[in-house]
Structure 1
Amino acid sequence: MPPASAVPVAMRPAGAIAALCVALVLAACSTVPPVERLPGAPESNTPALPASDAGNEVAIYALSLIDTGYRFGGKNPSAGLDCSGMVSYIFGQAANYRISGSAADIARKGRQIDASQLRAGDLVFFNTMNKPFSHVGIYLGDGRFVHAPSTNGRVHITRMDNPYFSKRFEMARSYFN
């Protein structure tokens, strides 16, 4: 048997495992993750667009309001926010974009987009009260959105594939290019 120094590293058991790990890491880094598709959303062959600067600002500002208290009809953080009040407040502060009304009113504005094309700052709408577009949240990316639900009592992040919300998802709208 040849001395250990004469056997190539890849042939040694520990070296083979290390080489395999490095190869897997490099392969993972070189692949593009698949476009996220929400349950029930139609398949789309259109690649996702990068987030806009305004959309990123909206998403970042939304994160700053995590744990803000809920208040029905609330339109500012000091008094509490409901879902549409949160969206209106954040869009005004972060993007200087005036948007107002109920979640259903907001759903009539903007540009409807395929759920597979969601970008940070886009709005996601849900039927949570047995009426269309009764809840709205701000999409963050990575399958998550920020919203102000009455049941939790605080602004927080929820996954789009959450069993409750995935069944109630209705539409996505974009307000940015």
Structure 2
Amino acid sequence: MFGHLGSDDSPHFPSQTLVMSDVVLTAMGYLGRPYAYGSSTMQGGFDCSGFVLSLYQRTLGYTLPRTAAEQARATEAIDRSELKPGDLVFFNTLRRKFSHVGVYIGDGRFIHSPRAGASIRVENMNVRYWRSRFNGARRVITPELAQTVAAASV
């Protein structure tokens, strides 16, 4: 993934945008996987936070906490206007803050594992249901990602 290009000796690091593009691309590979409460495995299926946990472990080797509320606390709050692909989006679906989580993929859309009897799918955040339950956006900043982005901006 990291390497040298051309004849200069400076390393070339992937940008945060490229890293998050990998997250989104990997997320799309989960489409159609079944919802399973309390699960975070390809074999058993995923609940919303299990999907996000599995996605970030698989793509970046980074382990987020298990529940949506814990994931919200462990990530950096951003304004909705700052959303970029790979950011986490949170919703109040159970009459409590941060009870549902998905991954923003761009153009007002997110991918998530919605509920029992459904499977991982892409939805529009701007439809009334999701817009009225939107609870905030968060950015995953892993130590490695922060170091990579800092090195790329030098």
TM-score range with shorter-chain normalisation? 0.7 to 0.9
The answer for the alignment partner of 1:101 in structure 2 is 66
Contact 1:85/1:100 (<8 A) preserved: no
Q: Could you state the TM-score of these two structures normalised by the residue count of structure 2?
A: 0.79
Q: Establish whether residue 60 from structure 1 lines up as the match of residue 19 from structure 2.
A: no
User: When the two structures are superposed, what TM-score results if normalisation uses the length of structure 1?
Assistant: 0.69
Give me the whole-angstrom Cα distance separating, in 2, the residues matched to 1:172 and 1:68. Answer: 24
1:54 shift after superposition: 2.0
Q: How far apart are the structure 2 equivalents of 1:152 and 1:73?
A: 14
**Is 1:121 matched up with 2:54?**
no
Range with bigger deviation, 114-123 or 143-152: 143-152
CA–CA distance in 2 between the matches of 1:169 and 1:94? Answer: 25
Shift in Å, 1:51: 5.8
Distance across 2 between alignment mates of 1:56 and 1:120: 7
Q: Is the 8 A contact 1:91 1:97 kept in 2?
A: yes
The verdict on how the C-alpha distance between 1:70 and 1:151 changes in structure 2, with shifts beyond 3 A counting, is closer
Aligned match of 1:139 in 91, 104, 107? 104
The structural deviation recorded for 1:104 is 0.5
Shift of residue 96, structure 1, vs aligned partner: 1.3
Cα offset for 1:52?
2.0
Q: Say if 2:125 and 2:131, in contact at 8 Å, map to a contact too.
A: yes
Q: How does 1:5-20 map to 2 (within 5 A)?
A: none
**Counterpart AA for 2:43:** S
Deviating more after overlay: 149-158 vs 134-143: 149-158
Structure 2, unpaired ranges of 5+: 1-14, 147-154
The structure with the largest alpha-carbon Rg is 1
Q: Alignment partner of 1:120: what SS?
A: coil
Q: CA RMSD in A?
A: 1.4
**1:93 corresponds to which letter in structure 2?**
R
Identity rate, percent:
36
- Quote how far apart the aligned CAs of 1:53 are: 2.1
Q: Distance in 1 between matches of 2:27 and 2:128?
A: 23
User: Distance in 1 between the 2:117 and 2:16 partners?
Assistant: 29
Corresponding residue for residue 130 of structure 2? 165
Partners of 2:109 and 2:16 lie apart in 1 by 14
Secondary structure of 1:61's counterpart equals: helix
Provide the C-alpha distance between the structure 1 equivalents of 2:29 and 2:76, rounded to a whole number of angstroms.
Answer: 26
Letter in 2 for 1:114: D
Shift of 1:130: 0.3
